[in-house]
Structure 1
Amino acid sequence: MPKAFSCPIGESNLIPTLSEGDRALLKPHLTPVKMDARMTLEEPGKPIERVYFLKSGVGSTVAFSNNGRRIETGLFGCEGMSGTAAVLQTGHASHETFMQVAGEGLAIESGRLQDAMEQSPPLQRHLLRYVQAMMTQTSQTALSNGQAKLEERLARWLLMCHDRISGNEMYLTHEFLSIMLGVRRAGVTVGTHLLEGKGLIRATRGRIVILDREGLEAEAQDS
């Protein structure tokens, strides 16, 4: 079964889908960047200095509590961008955002982006629609976290990550997955073993291979 979506090869989907005039407005201020795994894009409570449009790789937004617990609230790849708070004109990040899977992107100073949105209401509407899409994803993630079994949540998360990478291999540790799902590492081990036992994935140390996407979709159900 094909992945849920695809982007133009080596492109950020948000840029090519702009009008020619809006692309011209942004182009002089976009800088190509290589983005390593764990690269920090936003820090909670701090000003957003740069906004990143991903061309490849996966970014992750993580909420945290005062006692140090962390859980992923959203992820994005070549379909999206960091810095949604900058689009909303707030300027400060509410959560931590970092690269989950290394990739490449285009960076722009948040002030430059905000100036461009003031010059072009269609550009602002375009980016606000993306913010709405992320809000929908966040609400669905909250629903999944509240009602789904761990293996269903894991299947859903792997599918979302799979949508945003090339190939079927993901380099992810159990410690990292425990943060993404907000569970103990032992829970991740149980979840991966359940999915492996059904022939849906193959998990080795720090690496997961998707074997049966259709089966994973059935496992995720409505989670």
Structure 2
Amino acid sequence: MGITPNQSANSLLAALPPAEWLRIAPLLEEVDLPLGMVLHESGGKLSHVYFPIDAIVSLLYVLKDGGSAEIAVVGNEGVVGIALFMGGETTPRRAVVQSAGKGYRLRASDIKEEFNNSGAVLHLLLRYTLALMTQMAQTAVCNRHHSLDQQLCRWLLLSLDRLTGNELAMTQELIANMLGVRREGVTEAALKLQRLGLIKYARGRITVLDRVGLEERTCECYAVVKDEYDRLLPHQLTR
């Protein structure tokens, strides 16, 4: 594997007690997570869990006709592949990298062994799963009841919380696929936010110019999700 894992690179790993970290660290493999990489496909058997370092992974529900919509995002606050330690070998969700970076991966057998044998790991992963479920539920509510520009603000804020800078490499087409809407709708919403001076969009890159303005513009869904992560995982998102 050739590298010494950095425990602080992922907040979930950073929350592990010393004894558990010493057991898990030698089993972690650092991997590149390029844009568009599919970590697991809907219905496919999961072989690893992934702990993003500076990448962001979208969890998508894919319909039979090929349509999809994002139900959650995972960054350096969490782990991709919760089905493995929740008793399932497969999941109906697709996990795809939406912002390139690196991550650590851990074999399925290793994460299941830690989950089953260590109370500290079990409780930490269960709290994270509860926070992730809140994000999924709130995303469904947001997509049903709030305007597209509010949804875009929520999505941008959740992504920013998982990045170190204020810029996202993201095309409008990809955002439309994530939100499950038409590209024209994303274009209109992005232009609206740009006219308000909140973002700058050019050549597939979105730069957030006014984070406070985004927080004021978005619906309550962003705060609900962030507060739940902070409550259940106090060392997680800090913005």
Task: Find the counterpart in structure 1 of residue 191 from structure 2.
Answer: 193
Q: 1:204 aligns with which of 198, 202, 205?
A: 202
Task: Find the counterpart in structure 1 of residue 150 from structure 2.
Answer: 152
C-alpha displacement at 1:93, in angstroms?
2.0
CA RMSD of aligned residues (A): 1.4
- 1:79 equivalent to 2:90? Answer no
Q: Percent of pairs identical after alignment?
A: 34
Q: 2:163 is matched by which residue type in structure 1?
A: I
TM-score by length of 2: 0.87
Q: 1:209 to 1:10 in 2, by over 3 A?
A: farther
TM-score by length of 1: 0.93
Contact in 2 for aligned 1:61/1:96 (Cα 8 Å): yes
Which ranges of 4 or more aligned residues in structure 1 deviate by more than 4 Å? Answer: none
Task: Find the counterpart in structure 2 of residue 141 from structure 1.
Answer: 139
Write out per-residue CA displacement over residues 152-202 of structure 1, whole angstroms, 9 at most, x where no aligned residue.
101110111111112111110011000111100000100001101111001
Task: Find the counterpart in structure 2 of residue 3 from structure 1.
Answer: none
Structure 2's unaligned 5+ residue stretches are 1-5, 222-239
Structure 1's unaligned 5+ residue stretches are 1-7
Q: 1:9 to 1:125 in 2, by over 3 A?
A: closer
- 1:170 equivalent to 2:168? Answer yes
C-alpha displacement at 1:36, in angstroms?
0.8
Write out per-residue CA displacement over residues 61-96 of structure 1, whole angstroms, 9 at most, x where no aligned residue.
000111221100000110011011012021112210
Task: Find the counterpart in structure 2 of residue 121 from structure 1.
Answer: 119
C-alpha displacement at 1:14, in angstroms?
0.9
- How many residue pairs match? The answer is 216
Contact in 2 for aligned 1:10/1:55 (Cα 8 Å): no
Q: Which 10-residue stretch deviates more, 18-27 or 141-150?
A: 18-27
C-alpha displacement at 1:128, in angstroms?
1.1
